[in-house]
Structure 1
């Protein structure tokens, strides 16, 4: 029975238990230390809803994750991603998505960030058109952070959110006049929520985040015609989109909402997904309002998907810009696809943050942001992302000057003709010593902060999150394993080299790790500085491993939540 059929049957019979018969049907269980205020979130009614969701949809989630593993094995064996032959009719059809609600028609500037109360307040007060409240890449998913975030969003929807900084006593409160639209990003299908089990199995982090927010806020937001709205991350294929559709429809039925009330924007941030954009839109056509160029995760996915292809090695991160042909093709195909279907094509993140005390360096950084936003609006994007409130006026100025209408769906980009090879073409460039060392530093510093509960970290005037750390980690693995990758293809190859001729080998990596403590200075001044040694050890282990782990956050999750899961 499909998930849809099962959901329909649930009104007349008890939902099936997804765990094996030998596991007792123990239902919902909260695991680990209590978090202050969790009783106001994890109410008995929500626990019952989460239990039903797990039993109905966990088998399908596991199937989709297994399909990812099988697909990656084929890529590792030499296959390349491509457009699907079995869905040609969808790509060639003349269908469109459902009309976009008024609150989401103009999304020219969106700000993103984690779900801590101060960030939520500042983002909703920032003047951006939308705020993406992020339970995923910019959030370290300790249960304290998850519950604190859900409480903050519930209070924000109710208009009562306030926060007093303990270190300064400064009070933050929502501006009642704020018009910024709230959009929530739950975790992706690959992440578990270990603090909640159903029938002995950990819950899906995606289902936990989505359902918890919807349970507490969906009716209030729907009554105001303000949602609920979601960003859906890390999708790889139309079947994963269909699973989201079934989950959302089930929630709407349980919460007495009209089907299609919950609207979504999908991040195209995996290489397989770019070949199925039409199919993803079609699977969610009754509720989807747009696709987003999640460029940092997309670069990471390119590296991960093609990790065993010796002819697809990318240069250092700083040279992999949106002007590179494979990224330009990705962006323009997304615009063309969305506008053909009546959906928004959202641009990517500007990760820069203001540089204080150096006006010249700050001016150069802001000029890079301006050029990036100008590229997006001239290409036909309908909006863009920034990571810092100070960038909102700059991004708005660029989009206002070149997009006088609420969006650019009239820009059909019929001049775009993108092939599979365009989307897979590697870019030329180099690896510098500074670029190599920066990858090591960003991985270690971000991971240390993440292990300490901080998922959004400023490093060298860039706002780093899990996606950018993943780029650095995947590049280090691929560069250092290059001779072995070539050998699997029957080719003898020397190590890659820096632009000064230094071999990119394990000696270079070990020196970078050894020199890192002196490079970063007093760790007491760094977020998560007390966990630097742990982060170095983890990066060392992951980089030496014969296989590239799919997600850093999955590997590091047990170390993050360990203290919370210990017996009280």
Structure 2
């Protein structure tokens, strides 16, 4: 059995239904297996650091760990994949974002879902992971709102009608025409997709029979699927998930077993649940065909994100003193290792399975929001469209946007072409040489300067602050651009904070050489990024946030979550032992506003990591004896 935090079943009986509780009981045994593969992940990471070796490809003569599938057979397409269902055949634009707001009433919180389903996006990935705040019981609010919307509850329909009018007023002012003619019909247009949390995270509210925190993947998947599968099927919709942070085919195999067990429990055919996999980890790029093969009839496609992937490369190469990233702005999808990563993904999806089925490639995130000066918006929108055109040319069947206002700006790129997708477009088969492995960590010359460091630090601090306030998706920009409407805010989620601190950690601990001079800091080109320089920049950037208006930094946060965000960021960057996930240090301080307590929790986490190689991933407020 399992244990739920006190009072939550009474507060969320519509989420923790008897059917959900029965399914959680059936799937609870997977918790032990998930913990095992996560321990194996940490051991691989530790071994790489100790032996100073890069990630490489699997031996083609072996079987994929945890399965009976031969590696070479997977690479050759000798497996049975999925036929792409009708409602996923055309996914030109998928929006992303959470279905809930922090500390908000249902009527206010559920507006997020209304904006999404009225946006005109072909699909919307409602986020349970990087963009969803986890303060209090927000993950359950997210599930409740999705259930109300999918079942077309009167509460949701009332809000949707109001939101449709607001969206049309904006569209008339910005696009010159309305985008919603019949709001009730529009609600049926967008495919509903849910992103569960990765295997590396624990649920904050449930522990298993042994008192071990339940893997968030089990909880998120069960709550979403069990509460909504019948309503989705009755509406003729697929049950679709995004799976994040997978590093190996073995981990994908655990997901496959979990999904198959849930389907069996619900008397659904194997493969009823369809999944996209976010390629967010360097190790996964070495096992793309193997991951496809293991997920079999569940798998429909890959997504190429940017921020998470950069973070994974930085972490995987933390041992290599010569691997030092440039300014984050330089690491676009056409940069060195990113270009080669994207190329492998498009080759993998266009390799047929044993029945000739191909898979989808969904392009990466467009983080811009069309709010700012006329010049700023015009320049940013042109850049967004150009990015979409590039991905379409390269073979993507669609892309992501982070804000509903971007849908009708970017979607025309695919509308003009008119093809539903690019399934089966011809690309060379994947190869598995040392040269291929080296290309996946290819650095190219690019600036590394004080301006870049300021941007990394400012946004990382702001993101940590937003996280503590319950906003894991937040519109941010560096403090030096506050009040400058020519520089637009970008929608940032968990990954953007992680990669910024990862790069700062690299620069400091690998003694990065700065390529540009800086008069303000009296720095010459060729200077080393030192601890004293980092601390000086931290003081300056933090002071800017303290002086910012409430528009950019909530006044109440300046004595609560902002000092904690600073403590976390600095401990992460200064620690000789690189923490694998920034989110761990944020999660351990969720709902905590006391700086002294935060320091104790950070010290506890880092001690466990350094001494035992163990991440603290459970809710310490659920288990206060931990600290």
TM range (shorter): 0.7 to 0.9
Match of 2:31 among 34, 40, 58: 58
Instruction: Note if 1:348 corresponds to 2:364.
Output: yes
Unmatched runs of 5 consecutive residues or more in structure 1: 1-26, 484-494
Query: Residue 160 of structure 1 aligns with which residue?
Result: 153
1:442 equivalent among 436, 454, 459: 459
Name the CA distance, whole Å, in 1 between partners of 2:330 and 2:195: 29
- Once the two structures are superposed, the pairs formed by residues 397-476 of structure 1 within 5 Å of their partners are 397-402=412-417, 404-414=418-428, 419-460=436-477, 461-476=489-504
Distance 1:93 1:253, change over 3 A: closer
> Structure 2: how far apart are the matches of 1:449 and 1:69?
28
Corresponding position of 2:20: 46
- 1:256 matches 2:267: yes
Q: Equivalents in 2 of 1:355, 1:543: separation in Å?
A: 33
**CA distance 1:143–1:245, shift in 2 (3 Å):** farther
**Is the Cα contact below 8 Å between 1:142 and 1:560 reproduced in 2?**
yes
Q: Go from structure 1 to structure 2 and tell me whether the alpha carbon gap of 1:417 and 1:83 turns closer, same or farther (over 3 Å shift).
A: closer
Q: Distance in 2 between matches of 1:517 and 1:186?
A: 33
2:509 alignment partner in structure 1: 481
RMSD of Structure 2 on Structure 1 (CA)? 2.4
Residue pair 2:325, 2:506 contacting (<8 A) in 1 also: no
TM alignment of 1:118-197, pairs within 5 A: 118-160=111-153, 162=155, 171-172=162-163, 175-178=183-186, 179-197=189-207
Contact in 2 for aligned 1:164/1:172 (Cα 8 Å):
no
* Partner Cα separation in structure 2 for residue 472 and residue 161 of structure 1: 43
Q: How far has the Cα of 1:417 moved from its partner?
A: 6.4
SS in 2 for 1:291: strand
Shift of 1:51: 2.9
Report Cα offsets for 1:268-322 as digits up to 9, x if no partner.
1100000111011101111111011022111110111111112221101000011
What CA distance in whole angstroms lies between the structure 2 residues aligned with 1:512 and 1:553? 23
SS of the counterpart of 2:13? helix
- Corresponding residue for residue 22 of structure 1: none
CA deviation string 1:449-483 (max 9, x = no partner): 10111110111211110011111010011111114
1:377-423 alpha-carbon deviations (Å, 9 max, x no partner): 00011110011122212221112223x21101131223886822221
Measured after TM superposition, the shift of residue 260 of structure 1 is: 1.1
For residues 99 and 71 of structure 1, the distance between their equivalents in structure 2, rounded to whole angstroms, comes to 34
The residue number in structure 2 matching 1:486 is: none
Distance 1:322 1:280, change over 3 A: same
* 2:588 aligns with one of 554, 558, 564: 558
Q: What CA distance in whole angstroms lies between the structure 2 residues aligned with 1:172 and 1:518? A: 38
User: Please, which moves more after superposition, 134-143 or 294-303?
Assistant: 134-143
| Higher mean displacement: 519-528 or 544-553 | 519-528
Structure 1 residue 510 corresponds to structure 2 residue 540: no
Q: CA deviation at 1:201?
A: 1.4
Counterpart check, 1:383 vs 2:398: yes
- Name the SS for the 1:399 alignment partner: helix
Which residue of structure 2 lines up, in the alignment, with residue 90 of structure 1?
74
Q: Distance in 1 between matches of 2:126 and 2:413?
A: 24
TM-score, normalised to structure 2, is 0.80
Aligned residues of 2:346 and 2:395 also touching (Cα < 8 A): yes
Residue 33 of structure 1: CA displacement?
6.1
